[in-house]
Amino acid sequence: MPVHNSDIADFFATLADLLEIEGANPFRVRAYRNAAATVRSHPRRMADLIDEGMDLAELPDIGDDLAGKIQTIVETGRLPLLDEVAQRTPVELSDLMAIEGLGAKRVRRLYDELGIRSVEDLRRAADSGAIRELPGFGPKTEEAIRKRVEAHAGRERRMKLADAEDVADALVHWLAGCDGVREVVVAGSFRRRRETVGDLDVLVTASKGAPVMQRLADYDEVDEIVSSGKTRSTVRLHAGLSVDVRVVPQVSYGAALVYFTGSKSHNIALRKRGMRKGYKVNEYGVFKGERRVAGQTEASVYAKLGLPLIPPELREDRGEIDAARRGRLPKLVTLEDIRGDLHCHSKATDGRDTISRMAEAAKERGYEYLSINDHSKHVSVAHGLDRKRLLAQVRAIDRLNAKLDGIVVLKSVEVDILEDGSLDLPDDVLKELDFTVCAVHYQLRLTRRKQTERILRAMDNPYFNILAHPTGRLINRRDPCELDLERLLEAAHERGCIFELNAHPDRLDLNDEACRLAKDIGVGIAVATDAHSVDGLDTMRYGIDQARRGWLEKKDVVNTLSLAALQKRLRRR
Ligand code: DGT
Ligand code: CA
Ligand code: CA
């Protein structure tokens, strides 16, 4: 991905924060802040302006020095001065500056005197009463800081889907226990299975709203009632998630479900389509004049608009309405289509369970096959496999397979892609395996060109089969590597390589849009869990959610194939 203006702006803003914390000249600090604002709000990408030969020093608040720094960031993805400052002053301190009421001076003192580096440290210190002991802070200030830390957490973070699911399940269970309630569903981005959710949108059908609202107010997990009415309320839960609850009558259930499932842009497109056909579409139903002509079920709403029911995962206004109209909706892959897992770890490296336990667990889940992909040596886990140990594992799996019934363990590995693009194990051992899973685990911040070339070179190895967690991103924690994904996918297509959709809820990598790109280019996807224990196998469903959001069908996912067909599919061109 090219360097975005927001990335460049973040570099300058962080630098400004750190310099201010260090007590640098205020003019210098302000110069970087202004530069951040200029770049962030510029309508064109800096990278493109440079390509076009523009002198960036012509931009407001940008002099020659800053123009040079922008160029460096665009070319290398780094700002050397920031690296230098970060040696002295931890970068995380910049996050603390975002907490309302904490200026540079206070951040400095909290760091010097209490060792507070992160928002999490700050929360802990406030909870333990350490802050009030600092001269000039006191109990009132400590309490204010604690509140602001909470508010900050709520504002900043979209919750990962799997975490939101725990919160949602408990809430649905609670609301469903209310007298007179028929349906309780979580709509919104949660139902569309987005990888993170901003809030939960709960739809309840009941003849009367008031008892449902009372039930909500009585819920133990409610931290704060933000607003409350007869048929709609908003609350904040202790878990840090906001919840909108709406009560609708049964006749409007389908229309309300369509409306609150969204996305907003999908709704707008539906409403426009309705208008052309002379209907008004809203959360109460589909109306011809005053008369409700549909709305009890979702299917009835879509049918009035001349459309089949569109699966929630597709409702992003990315062409699904047009596809539906032409009868070309994809028949999305389901969990039941999956016949095995192609990325699992055992006790031999950093997994928790033995290979035979993993195999039994896979069999219990109805799988035909499961691969063991323990790490090669380079990765910094305890005892990565060298050639000798991997060969021993291969023989052990052969012996195990001879005893197993109804499940086949495939011999594989998760081999590191080294910085020069070579693989961390010699070909003579890779050729003993059924297939390989290859991954980048270090040097994640190479430039786009270098990172892309590194992986291209790895794919040149004839034993390369599946690229694991291709972008390396960790949701809410680590940005994806800079990569020319399209080029990699095209190369994979030529060579018969496969891309992973890592189903771990922290990864979901490839993401939905990249999956769709892979499908368009014709690259097979392996939806795989990266399970480090038998329980880890159950995260497959999050991978399937993401695959569906990426329009993937059974035929696009290689581990829907029978073992024989899979083995054929894994053969390189
Ligand atoms: P989130 O919460 O940021 O993860 O994303 P959503 O999609 O859950 O968005 P949210 O909670 O703001 O609203 C829930 C649904 O309500 C949304 O998907 C579509 C619908 N909705 C909200 N605002 C509007 C609007 O202004 N127009 C239309 N047509 N629909 C809206
Ligand atoms: Ca929502
Ligand atoms: Ca909402």
Q: What is the pLDDT of residues 18-63, one digit of tens each?
A: 999 999 999 999 999 999 988 877 778 899 899 999 999 999 889 9
271-327 confidence digits (pLDDT tens): 999 999 999 999 999 999 999 999 999 999 999 999 999 999 999 999 999 999 999
pLDDT at 508 over 90: yes
> Would you kindly state where each structural domain of the chain is located, as residue ranges?
5-154, 159-247, 252-325, 335-569
459-470 confidence digits (pLDDT tens): 999 999 999 999
Architecture of domain 159-247: 2-Layer Sandwich (3.30)
The confidence score (pLDDT) of residue 37 equals 84
The encoded tokens of residue 333 equal 């892959």
Question: Fold for domain 5-154?
Answer: DNA polymerase; domain 1 (1.10.150)
Nearest CA to ligand 1 atom 23: 264
Q: 81: helix, coil or strand?
A: helix
Q: What is the mean pLDDT of residues 351-363?
A: 96
Give the number of C-alpha atoms closer than 13 A to the C-alpha of residue 362, restricted to the C-beta side: 34
Q: What distance in angstroms lies between residue 263's CA and the mean position of ligand 1's atoms? A: 6
Q: What distance in angstroms lies between residue 158's CA and the mean position of ligand 3's atoms? A: 12
The answer to whether 166 touches 523, Cβ cutoff 8 Å, is: no
Assess whether the region 5-154 and the region 159-247 belong to the same CATH fold.
no
Cα 423 from Cα 419, distance rounded (Å): 9
Q: What is the mean pLDDT of residues 55-76?
A: 94
Cα 341 from Cα 529, distance rounded (Å): 7
Cα 398 from Cα 414, distance rounded (Å): 19
Cα 306 from Cα 314, distance rounded (Å): 17
Percentage of residues in the chain having pLDDT higher than 70: 98
Ligand that lies nearest to the alpha carbon of residue 194, given by its number in the listed order: 1
Give the ligand 1 atom nearest the CA of 194: 4
Nearest CA to ligand 1 atom 30: 264
Q: Which of 160, 189, 232 to mutate to test the pocket of ligand 1 (most atoms within 8 A of CB)?
A: 189
531: amino acid identity, one letter? A
The answer to whether 464 touches 416, Cβ cutoff 8 Å, is: no
The encoded tokens of residue 561 equal 């194939």
Contacts of 504 (CB under 8 A, 6+ apart): 529, 530, 536, 539, 542
Q: What distance in angstroms lies between residue 491's CA and the mean position of ligand 2's atoms? A: 38
The confidence score (pLDDT) of residue 383 equals 76
The confidence score (pLDDT) of residue 184 equals 98
79: amino acid identity, one letter? L
Return the bridge partners of 500, or none. Answer: 526
362-418 confidence digits (pLDDT tens): 999 999 999 999 999 876 555 789 999 999 999 999 999 999 999 999 999 999 999
Ligand 1 pocket, residues with Cβ under 6 angstroms: 188-189, 194, 197-199, 201, 259-260, 262-264, 267-268
pLDDT at 426 over 60: yes
Q: Can you tell me which residue has the tokens 């580096």?
A: 117
The answer to whether 526 touches 557, Cβ cutoff 8 Å, is: yes
Percentage of residues in the chain having pLDDT higher than 90: 83
Cα 321 from Cα 338, distance rounded (Å): 27
Nearest CA to ligand 1 atom 24: 264
335-569 has CATH 2.40.50.1020 classification: no
84-127 confidence digits (pLDDT tens): 999 999 999 998 988 877 889 999 999 999 999 999 899 999 99
Cα 8 from Cα 2, distance rounded (Å): 11
Lowest mean pLDDT among 153-167, 495-509, 512-526: 153-167
252-325 has CATH 3.30.210.10 classification: yes
510: amino acid identity, one letter? L
Number of Cβ within 10 Å of residue 83's Cβ equals: 10
What DSSP string runs through 313-365? GGTTTSSHHHHHHTT----B--GGG--EES-B--TTTT-SS-HHHHHHHHHHT
